[in-house]
Chain A
Amino acid sequence: MATLTLESLGKTYDSGASAVSGINIDVADGEFLVLVGPSGCGKSTLLRMIAGLETVTHGSIRIGPREVNRLEPADRDIAMVFQNYALYPHMSVRENLSYGLRNRRMARAEITRRVEEAARILEIGDFLERKPRALSGGQRQRVAMGRAIVREPSVFLFDEPLSNLDAKLRVTMRGEIRNLQKRLGTTSVYVTHDQLEAMTLADRLVVLRAGKVEQIGTPLEVYQRPASTFVAEFIGSPAMNLLDGVMEHGRLAIGTATMRLPDAHCGPVRVGVRAEDLRAVPGGTQGALPVRLSYVEELGSQRLGHFDCAGARLIAAFPSGQGLSEEMALMADPEALHLFGADGMRLT
């Protein structure tokens, strides 16, 4: 159990490329922190720096009160689950689980106890004597988790541990990881590029963009108040609609539609609106956007209408029974609108 503190942390590779920079994050004891961002944004680099697999070029990493920048991975009291699981192919599952404990010269009886305990929690007791290649993907995933929990470390690190599983198993394992972490209460940092996985797992979410923190917050905060158009488009599915508009004297104009907005800002803005905040209204309603339907996506519980709005694409969600016509008018409450400046940052 420990806190994890990253202070103006940065990494420049030997090639001169800066992978991450200026990272300041405090992870509370027992918290589940998820790092999310598009491919190449530096998630793995950051995680591997915490693990001690990459050198730190700027700033510091503290686990509890202890600065670990210069410690070997083995001395940091962390355990990591790799994307490809990195199970030792020549060792049985039991040997895989106990390897880290044997290296630390733990007593035999204690090793057996911990391995049996982990095997029970993860339901892998039936194949402790098998080699990894004789396991399915999901079972390997559990063994990789087991190898982390037998160590009883201060911090768990996960690097996209579910990305090699099929969609259904991913959802199950997601829940199991979440439950396990809550039960053990171990501080965890989890890397993923899947925003849904990030939303469902995280106590707090860190959105990374090009090596910098774009936003930190609980999944709901990030969803409801994205700090930039980047976050707005990245978090949530379908992605938030973004339209060009102009603010003048407390009035917002999007194309021909105008509506009152209690906002002092003046000039061109990007207006964000979630698909579920849009609703169909009769044509000609004050503030409604005239749109043309291009196609409908049936999801079962709801249907997504894809529209063309004066050249911009717009997605709106409707209850599954609702009829949609070629020409429609859509509208959202003023409180549901997100305003972003020309630089993409949130205005209010």
Chain B
Amino acid sequence: MQNKRAIFGAKGLPYLLLAPQLIITAIFFLWPAGQAIWQSFLREDAFGIKTTFVALENYSRLFADPSYLNALKVTVVFALSTAALSMGVALVLALAVDRTLRSARIYSTLLIWPYAVAPAVAGVLWWFMFNPTIGILPYLLKGVGYGWNHALDRGDAMTLVVISAAWKQISYNFLFFVAGLQAIPASLREAAAIDGAGPVRRFWTITLPLLSPTTFFLLVVTIVYTMFDTFGVIDAITEGGPAQSTNILVYKVYQDGFVGLNLGSSAAQSVVLMGIVIVLTVIQFRFVERRVNY
């Protein structure tokens, strides 16, 4: 291994080859991130003429602001519900595929398609299906006596964005769960069957614990996805409404910054989000290296 380093004779060559990636990272990530951090210490007056340095005041205001705390709560509910729904459904589908693997090709391919759909398009799709006036599902729900209206009802709105966001992520989780299940030797399940564990007990005591590294990985990935990648879903379906009930953090950054033009607060919010993703990533690497549970 050590000798292989000698391939690069010139000292500068490795840096030259890395340059495109480094430049892209610097221009599109490091520079804006630095800007955001700097901006989060500033405040502009109402007309955008004067800028003053206010140190951490944007942050202290943020955490005293009920609408921000609401957004935080909404985000937690949204992220956990989406993770639970998308992972739960993905796991059930993966278990079904794992049982009958030979005929599972077509089935798997179909299940992967939603992942290729852009979040905004997925949002519009579900928005149509759940449209209170023209949608098919409110019509069916009316049949069982439920008046669906996500434009007015906070619960309906949250349910709809969770379904739309989860639907897209199911494919991804499904693929990982199938791979995870395949990695569990059949003889373990056979041994458990001989040991008197029925299918349900086998699932809870053997399959699920052995799947825990996959599950943990997907939990973090899905939470990161719901916190950052679901902007399109929210924007296409509810725009954060009704009454802020689906206004998640990333959408609020956009609303306060680009719509409300409160750049200092928006920047502070971005920095908080950045902090959250860094923490999640660190947890991810720590645990994946150590392998959860066994």
Which of B190, B196, B198 interacts with A86 by CB under 8 Å?
B190
Inter-chain contacts of A78 with B (CB < 8 A): 194
Q: Which residues of B contact A73 (CB under 8 A)?
A: 190, 193-194
CB nearest to A79 among chain B residues? B194
Q: Does A100 contact B (CB under 8 A)?
A: yes
Task: Report the minimum CB–CB distance from A142 to chain B (whole Å).
Answer: 16
- A278 interface residue (CB < 8 Å to B): no
Q: Are B191 and A86 in contact (CB under 8 A)?
A: yes
Q: Are B194 and A99 in contact (CB under 8 A)?
A: no
Please, which residue of chain B has its CB at the minimum distance from the CB of A159? B187
* A90 and B193 contacting across the interface, CB-CB below 8 Å: no
How many whole Å from B23's CB to the nearest CB in chain A? 45
**A contact residues around B198 at 8 Å (CB):** 74
Residues of B within 8 A of A131 (CB): 294
Given A84-B187, A89-B210, A90-B210: A74 touches B193 (CB 8 Å cut-off): yes
Enumerate B249-294 residues with CB–CB distance to A below 8 Å.
Answer: 293-294
A-facing mask of B177-205, CB < 8 A → 1, else 0? Answer: 00000000101101111111110010001
Q: Which residues of A are found within 8 Å of B191, using beta-carbon distances?
A: 80, 82, 86, 88, 147
| Nearest-neighbor residue (CB-CB) of A151 within chain B | B195
Known: A82-B187, A86-B188. A74 touches B196 (CB 8 A): yes
Is residue B163 contacting chain A, with contact meaning CB distance below 8 A? no
A129 in the interface (beta carbon within 8 A) = no
Asked if B95 CB lies within 8 Å of chain A CBs, one says: no
Contacting pair A99 B294 (CB below 8 A): no
Instruction: Known A86-B185, A86-B188, A89-B294; judge A53-B193 contact (CB<8 A).
Output: yes
B22 to chain A: closest CB distance in Å?
40
Shortest CB-to-CB span from B190 to chain A, Å, is 5
Q: Which chain A residue shows the least CB distance to B191?
A: A86
Number of interface residues of B (CB under 8 A): 19
Say which residue of B193, B196, B206 sits within 8 Å of A88 (CB atoms). Answer: B206
For A69-100 the 0/1 string (1 means CB < 8 A from B) is: 00011100011101010101110000000011
Which residues of A have CB within 8 Å of B192? 88, 99
Least CB distance from A73 to B in Å reads: 5
Is residue B209 contacting chain A, with contact meaning CB distance below 8 A? Answer: yes
Q: Which residue of A lies closest to B102 (CB)?
A: A14
Which residues of the other chain, B, contact A103 by a CB distance below 8 angstroms?
195-197, 201
Set of chain A residues within 8 Å of B190, measured between Cβ atoms: 51, 53, 73, 80, 82, 86
Chain B residues, CB < 8 A from A89 = 210, 294
Task: Find chain B residues with CB under 8 A from A82 CB.
Answer: 187, 190-191
Q: B197, A74: Cβ atoms under 8 Å?
A: yes
With both chains docked as a complex, state the minimum distance between the C-beta of A2 and any C-beta of chain B, in angstroms. Answer: 16
Whole-angstrom distance between the Cβ of B54 and the nearest chain A Cβ: 52
Which residue of the partner chain A has the closest CB to B198? Answer: A74
Q: How far is the CB of A100 from chain B (nearest CB, A)?
A: 4
Q: Are B293 and A51 in contact (CB under 8 A)?
A: no
Chain B residues near A72: list those with CB within 8 A.
Answer: 193
Give CA–CA (A249, B191) in the complex, Å.
60
CA distance A133 to B293 in the complex (A): 13
In the complex with contacts A84-B187, A86-B188, A103-B201, A51-B210 CB distance below 8 A: no
Give the residues in chain B near A183, CB-CB below 8 Å. none
Among A20-65, those with CB < 8 Å from B are: 51-53
Which of B191, B201, B210, B294 has the most chain A CB atoms closer than 10 A to its own CB?
B191
A146 vs B193: C-alpha distance when bound (angstroms): 17
- A108 CB within 8 Å of chain B: no
Which residues of chain B in 146-194 are interfacial with respect to chain A, using CB atoms and an 8 Å cutoff?
Answer: 185, 187-188, 190-194
The interface bits of chain A over 230-253 (1 if a CB of B lies within 8 angstroms of the residue's CB, else 0) are 000000000000000000000000
Which chain A residue lies CB-closest to B189? Answer: A86
> Interface digits, A259-297 against B, CB 8 Å rule (1 contact, 0 not)?
000000000000000000000000000000000000000
Residues in chain B near residue A99, CB distance under 8 A: 192, 195, 197, 205
Least CB distance from A91 to B in Å reads 8
A168 adjacent to chain B (CB < 8 Å) = no
**CB-contact partner of A100 in B188, B195, B209, B293, under 8 A:** B195
A74 partner, pick from B195, B205, B206, B294, beta carbons under 8 A: B195
Given that A86-B185, A86-B188, A89-B294 are contacting pairs, would A80 and B194 also be in contact in the complex, using a CB cutoff of 8 Å? yes
B196 touches A104 (CB 8 A): yes
Give chain A nearest CB distance to B202 CB in angstroms: 9
Q: Give Cα A82 to B187, complex, Å.
A: 7
CA distance A84 to B185 in the complex (A): 10
Of the candidates B187, B194, B293, which one forms a contact with A90 in the assembled complex, judged by CB atoms under 8 Å apart? Answer: B293
Given known A73-B190, A89-B294, contact A100–B196 (CB-CB < 8 A): yes
Residues of B within 8 A of A147 (CB): 191, 195
Shortest Cβ distance from residue A113 to the other chain B in the assembled complex, whole angstroms: 18
Contacts of B294 in A (CB 8 A): 89-90, 131, 133
A11 to B190, CA, bound (A): 19
Q: Which residue of A lies closest to B187 (CB)?
A: A86
Q: Which residues of A contact B (CB under 8 A)?
A: 51-53, 72-74, 78-80, 82, 84, 86, 88-90, 99-100, 103-104, 131, 133, 147, 151
Pairs across A and B, CB under 8 Å, 19 listed: A73-B193, A74-B195, A74-B196, A79-B194, A80-B194, A82-B187, A82-B190, A86-B188, A86-B190, A86-B191, A88-B188, A88-B191, A88-B192, A90-B293, A99-B195, A100-B194, A103-B195, A103-B201, A104-B196
**Residues in chain B within 8 A of chain A (CB atoms):** 185, 187-188, 190-198, 201, 205-206, 209-210, 293-294
Interface contacts beyond A103-B195, A103-B197, A103-B201: sample of 17 additional A-B pairs, CB < 8 Å, sorted by A: A53-B190, A53-B193, A53-B194, A72-B193, A73-B190, A74-B193, A74-B194, A74-B195, A86-B185, A88-B192, A88-B206, A90-B293, A90-B294, A99-B195, A100-B195, A147-B195, A151-B195
Closest 4 CB pairs of A and B: A100-B195, A90-B294, A103-B196, A86-B187
